Amino acid sequence: MRHEVLAAESLGPGEVRCVSVDGVRIAVARGRDGRVHALRDACAHQGASLGRGQVEALVEGTAVGQYRLVEGKEILRCPWHGYEYDLDTGRSLFDPEHTRVRVYEAFEEEGKIIVER
């Protein structure tokens, strides 16, 4: 079911907001590339609101001089202890198979951000 959750202009690149859809808290984020994402607004660790987290670029590497930005990939960082979630999949970076949050389809249409749930 489709839900209009925000005016598109109210969410700038790199911003995240908390919304409620049928009593379920959802974090709606806009990547720096302009795409919108929707994730369950409860961190898999201790339940912090991911809607109070930060959108950040994904960096990969294991040693000085080898860290690189991953083009087209951003994460949502939990505000409490820093778990990082892939904005597209909701999977954590450190344990993607077991530690993740649900994602919902999200897109813009006629000046509104729509979340399907």
**Residue 6 vs 27, nearer CB to ligand FES:** 27
- Centre a 10 Å sphere on the Cβ of residue 69 and count the other Cβ atoms it contains: 12
List the one residue from 7, 10, 81, 105 that touches ligand FES (CB under 6 A): 81
> Per-residue x/- marks for ligand FES, 27-66, CB under 6 A?
----------------x-xx-x------------------
Q: How far is the CB of 114 from ligand FES (least distance, A)?
A: 27
Dihedral sign for Cα 82, 83, 88, 90, please.
negative
Vertex 30: Cα angle to 26 and 36 (nearest 5): 70
